[in-house]
Amino acid sequence: MKIDGRQWRSVWAEPDGRAIGVIDQTCLPHRFATVRLEDAAAAGHAIRSMLIRGAPLIGAVAGYGLALALREDSSDAALDAAHATLLATRPTAVNLRWALDDVRAAVGHLPPAERAAAAWARAGAIAEEDVEINRTIGEHGLDLIGRHRQAEGPVNILTHCNAGWLATVDWGTALSPIYQAHDAGIPVHVWVDETRPRNQGAALTAWELGCHGVPHTVIADNAGGHLMRLGKVDLCIVGTDRVAANGDVCNKIGTYLKALAAHDNGVPFHVALPSPTIDWTLTSGDATPIEQRDGDEQRWVWGRSETGEIARVAVVPDGSAVGNWAFDVTPARLVTSLITERGVVPATAEGLAGLFPDRAAA
């Protein structure tokens, strides 16, 4: 997608072929900065510190990270060690494991001397596949949005967290249909959940939509239920970090609350996902490991100070404990449909298995 008219992706191979470049998402929306990641340690740190985030992007960066590790040491032991180290950076997004497994499988049978180059190529292919997957998700989701088109006024879509192009390599998952609807001339307006505690909605989704010219309004996470009761939300579209084989959806903390409100008000609740986000080994979302992050993310809020610096303020009294669960699980019964690169299906074991018979059987 474009920033100030220039085409960008969220991760790219640097021209010298010795590193990857990423956008430092911790500085957005206040400052646009890119970072060069030259080795696996830097890639791992970027994932762990959430310099980059979003399940599909985590997968792509991890794939490149494994390739970078193999340049230093391409032995079997080093391959396994780098796989394990990168896998431990974030527990919830299953794309991370998928990408690491994919790259290792692509190079493990090769002589060590050939592994680094092959892994780099495979990581690049994963990134390209992600772009194509998300473009296709957008086409399928565009139809869902189009059904809500009215004679007057925009289609009002609520989203949570950031499942835009910053969370993937390009296009996004939940935002891909929105970009494509906007580009196709369907008037859309997006209610952007702030998404505490890290504010990915206010900081990233609002910034992305603004860069692309999509009308949007940032709201407190608390507001979505009220807006649905008022009839101000036509549909919800969110992304996900892991979908169980039964259609349960693990996504950013607070997604479950919005799904409950959508269900209570007859508002369709769609989840957009690339197929690597499906964890075929999980029969229920309740088994998803839910990351608990540093309480400082809840205790301090980052933003732009009155003097223009990126700064933080404490919002919790000294001495008060804080909790910081990063994800929750939305039961499949609250999900209207799953939007994948192969089409739109009900959030059921049958729906998913029918669309991916090649993988569900695995």
Binding footprint of a second copy on the chain (CB under 8 A): 29-30, 191-192, 194-197, 199, 202-203, 206-207, 209-210, 215-227, 229, 252-254, 256-258, 260-261, 264, 290, 298-306, 311-317, 319-325, 327-329
Q: How far is the CB of 284 from a second copy (least distance, A)?
A: 12
Residues 6 or more apart whose CB falls under 8 angstroms from that of 141 comprise 174, 176, 177, 178, 180, 237, 270, 272, 339, 344
- In the bound state with a second copy, the residue whose beta carbon lies nearer, of 109 and 320, is 320
Those residues whose C-beta lies under 8 Å from the C-beta of residue 33, and which sit 6 or more positions away, are 23, 24, 27
Q: Out of 102, 170, 234, 241, which one is annotated catalytic?
A: 241
Reported for 118-126, long-range contacts at CB under 8 A and 24+ positions apart, including other chains, are: 119/63, 119/66, 119/67, 119/70, 120/13, 120/17, 120/64, 120/67, 122/63, 122/67, 123/60, 123/63, 123/64, 123/66, 123/67, 123/99, 124/13, 124/64, 126/59, 126/60, 126/63, 126/99, 126/102
Shortest gap between Cβ of 192 and a second copy (angstroms)?
8
Q: Computed over its alpha carbons, how large is the radius of gyration of the chain?
A: 20
- Closest approach of a second copy to the CB of residue 257, in Å: 4
3-state secondary structure of 60: helix
In the complex, minimum distance from the CB of residue 328 to a second copy, in angstroms, rounded to a whole number: 4
In the residue annotation, 241 being an active-site residue is answered as yes
216 touches 156 (CB < 8 A): no
Q: Can you tell me the distance from the alpha carbon of 128 to that of 35, in angstroms, rounded to the nearest whole number?
A: 20
For residues 14 and 264, which CB has a smaller minimum distance to a second copy in the complex? 264
Residue 255 Cβ, how far from a second copy at the closest point, in Å?
8
Q: How far is the CB of 315 from a second copy (least distance, A)?
A: 4
Instruction: List all residues 6 or more positions away from 355 whose beta carbon is below 8 Å from its beta carbon.
Output: 340, 342, 343, 345
Q: Give the CA dihedral 198, 202, 208, 210, nearest 10 degrees.
A: -160
Which one, 7 or 320, has the nearer CB to a second copy? 320
Give the residue with the Cβ less far from a second copy, 49 or 305: 305
Active centre residues (catalytic): 241
